Amino acid sequence: MLFGIALGSNLGDRAVNIQRGVEMLMERVPGIRLNGRARVYETEPVDCAPGTQAFLNTVIEVAADCLPHELHAHLKAIEQALGRPEQRERNSPRTLDLDLLYADDVVSDDPVLTLPHPRMHLRRFVLEPLADIRPELVLPGQKSSVAELLAGLE
């Protein structure tokens, strides 16, 4: 199964946090393969408190023989291992944020995991790096490709 994962950091050594997150993911998930990796973008915080430091954001695509909920559990464990508290204010600063964007054409709307990610089509900091690696991708529930969604943003 192919999975898209967004990585973001705005605390500490942001580039190291992102690199370590990718390394930990590759170490934790048996048989995982890196399919694509976007460049890293520095972006202004969205819906965060005034004075919040800029983020570094990127997207990777991996192939893994696991279920979306299993991969999601690994992502949450990696966030915590790198210092992100499990209980936190929404949009608070973070050492590492890992969001599962999509899992092939799986659609999920349960309390633990919503797929595709519900706001990714509105967020330049997700669409721009995703367009680096999968511009033609059309996600379930969308009629436009990632590149078209990105072009439609202000």
pLDDT tens digits for range 9-43: 999 999 999 999 999 999 999 999 999 999 999 99
DSSP alpha helices (H): ranges in 40-91?
68-81
Q: Looking at residues 58-79, what average pLDDT do you find? A: 97
- Per-residue pLDDT band for 49 (boundaries 50, 70, 90) equals confident
Q: With respect to CATH, is domain 2-118 assigned 3.30.70.560? A: yes
Q: Looking at residues 117-138, what average pLDDT do you find? A: 96
